[in-house]
Amino acid sequence: MSLIVQGFLWIFVPAHWTTSATSAGIGNALAQHLALSGLSLLVAGVIALPLGLYIGHTGKGRGVAIVSSNIARAIPTLGLLSILLLYLPDVPFLPSGYTPDIVVFALLAIPPLLAGSYAGLEAIDRQTIDAARAIGMTEWQILTKVEIPLGIALIIGGIRSSSLQIVATVTIAPLFTQITLGTFIADGLAQADYVKVVAGAILVAALALIIDGLFAIVQRFVVPRGVSRRPTKEKSTTARGTALAAKTGTPIQEGN
């Protein structure tokens, strides 16, 4: 247990925050960790969110999305990373080794993003969408004014779990090339400096919990008032049905 206390103390030594000749600083490692994670999330989001919204809106390609997500879950990230590091060239403006890392981390983040966005749209009551169509909204208006606001909680939920996946996996990037918060764990193990190992683990855990907490707050605030408001008594059965469907991510079979 005292190792954990020592680990906390290690983090609060100012010298450990700046990079020295012998070891990476926490500041630098944290910055690289966030840069790699952020860029990967951005790339994944640009690909997966529109695709997920398309699947959710049209209902096409859902089976393909589920199957490919399941396959992606089985592929070990480290394996993919080691292959791409050997093959992918660097891209200008990005530090060396960033390209394969970003490709792999983005691939990892795509399944939860896809699932969150199509499940978010599919959980919406079909009658609501039919009503929107009946009053003359275009498909684009239905998507942006009805489906996205109603499905936003699950969409953000997808972004939340993909960010956590990325942050966790960026931690193992030092096994190959990058300097991230995982570097302290790797270096500590190599030097048999277990205080440093534990300090690294605490930093990674803190980062993951903070990111998760921030998304939890965002998720609470972005839900439109009409959706989050407590349902009145006679409506409560349908509201619970919707909430259940929102969780399970299945469409509600109602109307045509």
* Site of interaction with another protein (CB under 8 A): 1, 3-4, 66, 69-70, 73-83, 85-87, 111-112, 115-116, 119, 154, 157-158, 161, 164, 167-169, 171-172, 175-176, 182, 185-186, 189, 194, 197-198, 200-201, 204-205, 208-209, 212, 247-250
CB of 120 to another protein, least distance (A): 9
Q: Of the two residues 5 and 42, which places its CB atom closer to another protein in the complex?
A: 5
Q: Which residue has the tokens 């965002």?
A: 218
CB of 182 to another protein, least distance (A): 6
CB of 81 to another protein, least distance (A): 7
CB of 47 to another protein, least distance (A): 17
Q: Of the two residues 23 and 180, which places its CB atom closer to another protein in the complex?
A: 180
Residues 6+ apart with CB under 8 A from 234: none
Q: Of the two residues 17 and 176, which places its CB atom closer to another protein in the complex?
A: 176
**199, 7 in Cβ contact below 8 A?**
yes
Residues 6+ apart with CB under 8 A from 91: 98, 99
d(CA 235, CA 232): 6
Q: Of the two residues 132 and 150, which places its CB atom closer to another protein in the complex?
A: 150
Q: Of the two residues 213 and 255, which places its CB atom closer to another protein in the complex?
A: 213
Q: How many CB atoms lie within 10 A of CB 114?
A: 28
Helix ranges (H only) for the chain are 2-11, 26-58, 62-74, 77-87, 98-122, 126-134, 139-141, 148-170, 182-190, 194-222, 225-228, 236-248
CB of 46 to another protein, least distance (A): 20
